Amino acid sequence: MDLNNFAFIALSAITLICALMVVIARNPIYSVIFLILTMFSLTGHYVLLHAQFIAVINIIVYAGAIMVLFLFVLMLMNMNANNEPNKSLLWKSLATIVAAGGFISMAVLYFRNMGDTPIKPTTNSVPGNMLPPDFGYVKPLGKMLFTDYVFPFEIASILFIAAMVGAVFLGSREKS
């Protein structure tokens, strides 16, 4: 087994275990910390896929900004395992069956369509070797973002302004 495969297996194990711990952990603070670990291992996956730009913004936006926001709100509400609500065992087992059924149906779809993919991939494995050497780097992505996708990019900035104004408005309403 070479280093690439080993890294993939280790990162996948960390990702899945931490994601399960997000769901299982009783204390919400632990959930946030396990979600941060999941984000970090996903960043490792992005690096393994040679998607450097996505890896960097995953760290900055998700693990940096969003998770700090979650942690801050949890601390603000003083949440811990004692006042954590819990669902009944029947509901829990039902939910587990539904989630497992979703996974199994995806597996069945995958096995049924294994032979005949209508679109031919450039390579049937990643990392591909027929790609340009700067695939996934910041420079070509930025060029695409400011030429082909400049209109969605500007719309996204308006969305951000709207979200920020909305959050400030919601947060400051109880003054009177």
**Whether the Cβ atoms of residue 9 and residue 46 lie closer than 8 Å to each other:** no
Which residues in the 124-153 window bind other proteins by CB under 8 A?
Answer: 124-128, 130-131, 135-136, 140-141, 144-145, 149, 152
Instruction: State the chain's maximal CA–CA distance in angstroms.
Output: 66
CA 65 vs CA 7, 98, 163, 176: distances in Å: 26, 32, 15, 31
Query: Taking the complex as a whole, how short is the minimal distance between the CB of residue 176 and other proteins, in angstroms?
Result: 14
Q: Confirm if 71 and 31 have CB atoms less than 8 A apart.
A: no
Query: In the window 43-102, what residues touch other proteins (CB under 8 A)?
Result: 45-46, 48-51, 53-54, 57-58, 61-62, 65-66, 69-70, 73-74, 76-77, 79, 84-87, 91-92, 94-96, 98-100, 102
Residue 22 amino acid letter = V
C-alpha to C-alpha distance for 43 and 40, rounded to whole angstroms: 5
The residues in 8-37 that bind other proteins, with binding defined as CB under 8 A, are: 8, 12, 15-16, 19-20, 22-23, 28, 31-32, 35
Residue of 90, 115, 118, 119 interacting with other proteins (CB under 8 A): 119
